[in-house]
Structure 1
Amino acid sequence: MSWPIRTRTGGNRAGRGRPVPDPAVRARAARVRTAARARTAARARARALGALAVVALAAPVVSAAPAAAAPPPPCLTSDLSLSWAPGGTAVSGGAEPGSSRTAVVALRNAGDATCLLDGFPKVTLAQGATTENLVDQRSVSHSAVTLDPGASARFTLTFRQGQSGEDGVIEPVTAIVTPPNNTASTNMRWRWGPVAEQESASPPRNFVGPVVAA
């Protein structure tokens, strides 16, 4: 007895394998997966923003410091009016040779703007070609002085009174004063008699103090 031979076709093989999903079903599944991923990403972003907000709330609030105002410019010699001021021990014409004397100089801001004086003026006593330079009195503390228009500051000269006609003594006619942070000078007529020169003393005994508030 013979049996009929069955032949498998491609159609039969496809029918016996995994079913092919419907295209609409595949598209719907893809949309569902995309929406799920979007929700997951949104939740992750929300968590990150929440963490940043907590950190920002916990961080101390630091206020910006106000910018420091620039100091006024140095006072120019041309804007300063210098004069002898009361308060010193010097005597017009000099007195008591060998004694230590002081003379006070006032510096008035004759300009139209606020300016600054800081440090030691340079002072030279002159008798013709003979001069005597006063040294800075570094032992005196000081700070910068701001001068509004019309305001004044001062400094003090300390010197050893000399005896007229003796060696090592200068009889000044002029005090040449250069204010701090300047190169230009102004002349003041010396009123306080003979001065013993620095060279005849050790340590020096003729000083100029710093500019201070009047």
Structure 2
Amino acid sequence: MGFISLDKAGLIGKGSSRFCYQHPSDRCKCIKIQKNPALNITSEEVKHYRKFIRRGISWEMVARYHETVLTDQGPGAVFDMPRDFDGNVSRTLHHYLLSDESNSRIAVIMASALMDLKRYLLKQNIIIRELKPENLVWCRAGECHGRFILADGIGNNQFISVATYLKRFGRRVINRKWATFERDLRELYSGSSFSGTLLLYL
């Protein structure tokens, strides 16, 4: 693929280290641009995605990496863009935790989907740098059901990387990261009744 101009592409979101743009020629993909190229976050992440490709993992709950392209904002990594059944870009768990529209019924449904995600991570041995509500996208397949897709945070930041290759070590890392995720839900969203209901069913 040639040079891609992002001047007219929609800026979908901003993370702590990257900008996320709508792919200008494919509404089902996005392009992530690193704010500080010297950090090498994207290139390190892509190494893990390429390992997933070689392993032939299921992409059911991870946004698939496609390629790295050159843009007018620098190198960009192309990923799937999760969309809801109505065509809208899927929202993060963080959005629902802060939304006044969220309710206990949706929280119970999401709690079940989060447990599905945990089982998926363990089965596929997908090691994560960090598991945050901002990185989890709720992809609605209907008004009252859907699945979570991990859109960021992939990588192994352990001192010893053996967990990437051996499931018994990977299980320990994933369970530890999940415990931190639940603690963050409890502490960072302490004023959210939605978070409280979610935690009751995890």
Common fold: TM-score over 0.5:
no
Structure with greater helix percent: 2
The answer to which structure, 1 or 2, has the higher relative contact order (CA under 8 A, 6+ apart) is 1
Q: Normalization by structure 2: what TM-score? A: 0.27
Bigger proportion of residues as strand: 1
The two structures have a TM-score, normalised by structure 1, of 0.26
